[in-house]
Structure 1
Amino acid sequence: MKTRRLGKTGYSVSEIGLGCWQLGGDFGPVGDETAGAILDAANAAGVSFWDTADVYGGGLSESRIGSHAKGPGVHVATKLGRGGGLFPNNFSKAGLRASLEGSAKRLGVATLDLAQLHCVPTAVLRDGAVFGWMDELKAEGLVRHWGASVETIEEGLICLEQPGCATLQIIFNLLRQDAATELLPKAAERDVGIIVRLPLASGLLSGKFDKDTRFAATDHRNYNADGQAFSVGETFSGLPFARGIELVAELKGLAPQALPMSQFALRWILDHPQVSTVIAGVSKPEQLADNVAASEQKSLFPALMGQLGEWYEKSVKPEIRGGV
């Protein structure tokens, strides 16, 4: 597995990471045996960056990671700010500390490798107090580094102004390309590691869905398809599902022959050198091999990268809901 530097953390992390939202059962039930097999497969493949959050399964994802053996060099990142009574407007240093202490206990560590503010409201980021509290909690030894997971370019740019911000987790994929213009270059200037989430746009870019695909009632691709539960941008990158299916069909016509759709999508992200790691969730351990293979694929030709950018601006961006 190829590795990259995660910004000012100095951590060396796998290009392909593991998103652990599904380990909390938020996409549908995941048994202990399957969860363990996914983490075993990650260790075996050299996937050394695992991303979770305190609210995934009410702490179940963190607990499963905490009780599982980790391979050499594995770094676990968690997130805070959506649970613990903090969201949307009750943020305090004491509240952040309590949340972090709960995560550390579930993960079985004294100090968290990386704690990320979890899509907190834009107004809270603009106020800025939350950043100072994270600096203080780092100084106390509760976290080694802190970062932020954001929903929009505006929020990302606010976070990049904070000297203590070590990482930025963003939505970035073939169906959400806006970060490439300003955000990624600025992050590189500030030595902020970029963690990409939703690389396959909630599975759309796997190429395995069609207009008749249905999702379980417990799956956010069902209950949040139109932003009923949280930001619509977190599901299918803000696209209506039916339109997303049509756009992926167009993409298949642009992809290099013999390159699987999911690897094409992941390779496009990795061809942006400012990206440190791409966190892709899997529901079955065997899916990891397909994700990891993208790291070994050849870079896409510059002409194709340009064509994909033009296609996005014309065909995709006007369709996105929830802001970019």
Structure 2
Amino acid sequence: MKTLFSRRDALKLSILGSVGFSFGTMGNLLPYSKVQTRPIPSSGEDLPVVGLGTWQTFDVGNSDAQRAVLTQVLQELYRFGGSVIDSSPMYGSSERVVGDLTKALKFQNELFYATKVWTSGKSAGIRQMEASMAKMQREQMDLIQIHNLVDWKTHVKTLREWKEKRKIKYWGITHYVDSSHKTLEHIIQSERPDFVQFNYSINSRNAEKSLLDTTKKYGTATIVNQPYAGGSLFRRVKGKEVPTWAKEWDINSWGQFFLKFILSHPNVNCVIPGTSKPHHMVDNMRSGLGKMPDGTIRNRMVMYLKSI
């Protein structure tokens, strides 16, 4: 709860104070604006730059009240042109909740469904992936990723077979800590996954050393997790306003400040902040609109954050 309240405070200060609208009307802004897209290198398919992570946020079981709010989150994702929903069998009931909620939406088949395999052994991996597809109610999964590289050498073979059979469209690998980046690079070079997912944020920039360059060199699409550094970025700026100069780059909240820094890197395809709040989803999606910071502004953003 601490992280969510910190973000709420930051949004109030940076958006409500400077623009003058409430969260109640926020969702009605720019109803026809769509976030930018970037092509998946292995296919050329366009992918919206902002998606939705489901760790913790969609693990709500059968709660009707929480499911109703999450349906609003999904509607905001779609209204701004988003499609990527990332889950995992590690995330409790999240896969099942995603499947149940999207089944009732008219745009169910316009979304991009991503999940993961998180077990050891070929047979166990197949059973888990089939269970995930059933929970998310997909006959074909858009993307299955090897979660935190667990038994990756085994699962790569299965995922390649599934891609050939068109059971999945893409396969990938994931991790969430800096120490994994060199291993991710090695696998990109040797196995050529369609996607790689990893941690990257304005104050955790290890991926800039070589991982992001490697993804470009080998044509691997990137999904960024941990964009808010586990919520610590919002706690850091609590009580402070977004700098005036940032608004020249269509940045009107701290969430947009942090996400636009990530998206302004040319080798990032999509960022997947998790949320269970519709107004946070709107704020996240707005980071995919308007101008993206250039190199000079990116450096200024880093230095400004260090100064506060």
TM-score normalised by the chain length of structure 2: 0.75
Q: Which amino acid aligns with 1:6?
A: I
**Residue 35 of structure 1 contacts residue 64 of structure 1 at CA under 8 Å; is this kept in 2?**
no
Report whether the alignment pairs 1:189 with 2:226: no
Report whether the alignment pairs 1:299 with 2:292: yes
Identity %, equivalent residues: 22
Secondary structure of the structure 2 residue equivalent to 1:23? coil
Going from structure 1 to structure 2, the CA distance change for 1:70 and 1:183 (only over 3 Å counts) comes to farther
Deviation of 1:185 (Å):
1.3
Secondary structure of the structure 1 residue equivalent to 2:139? coil
Match of 1:39 among 74, 79, 87: 74
Match of 1:10 among 36, 41, 44: 44
Match of 2:277 among 284, 288, 299: 284
Query: Which segments of 5 or more consecutive residues in structure 1 lack a partner in the other structure?
Result: 210-244, 316-324
**Residue 97 of structure 1 contacts residue 137 of structure 1 at CA under 8 Å; is this kept in 2?**
no
Corresponding residue for residue 67 of structure 1 = 103
Corresponding residue for residue 83 of structure 2 = 48
Aligned partners of 1:31, 1:62: CA distance in 2, in Å? 12
Report whether the alignment pairs 1:146 with 2:161: no
Give aligned pairs, total: 262
Aligned partners of 1:158, 1:17: CA distance in 2, in Å? 26
Q: How does 1:158-173 map to 2 (within 5 A)?
A: 158-173=186-201
Q: 1:32-68, CA deviations, whole angstroms, 9 ceiling, x for partnerless residues?
A: 2112121122222211111111222244344335534
Aligned partners of 1:17, 1:252: CA distance in 2, in Å? 26
Report whether the alignment pairs 1:132 with 2:157: yes
**Residue 53 of structure 1 contacts residue 62 of structure 1 at CA under 8 Å; is this kept in 2?**
no
Q: Whose helix fraction is larger, Structure 1's or Structure 2's? A: 2
Report whether the alignment pairs 1:80 with 2:117: yes
Query: What is the aligned-residue RMSD (CA, Å)?
Result: 2.9
Aligned partners of 1:55, 1:30: CA distance in 2, in Å? 23
Q: Which amino acid aligns with 2:277?
A: K
Q: Which amino acid aligns with 2:148?
A: C
**Residue 221 of structure 2 contacts residue 268 of structure 2 at CA under 8 Å; is this kept in 1?**
yes
Aligned partners of 1:196, 1:113: CA distance in 2, in Å? 17
Aligned partners of 2:271, 2:74: CA distance in 1, in Å? 16
Report whether the alignment pairs 1:269 with 2:262: yes
> Which structure has more RCO (C-alpha within 8 Å, separation ≥ 6)?
2
Secondary structure of the structure 2 residue equivalent to 1:153? helix
Aligned partners of 2:241, 2:218: CA distance in 1, in Å? 36
Query: Which segments of 5 or more consecutive residues in structure 2 lack a partner in the other structure?
Result: 1-33
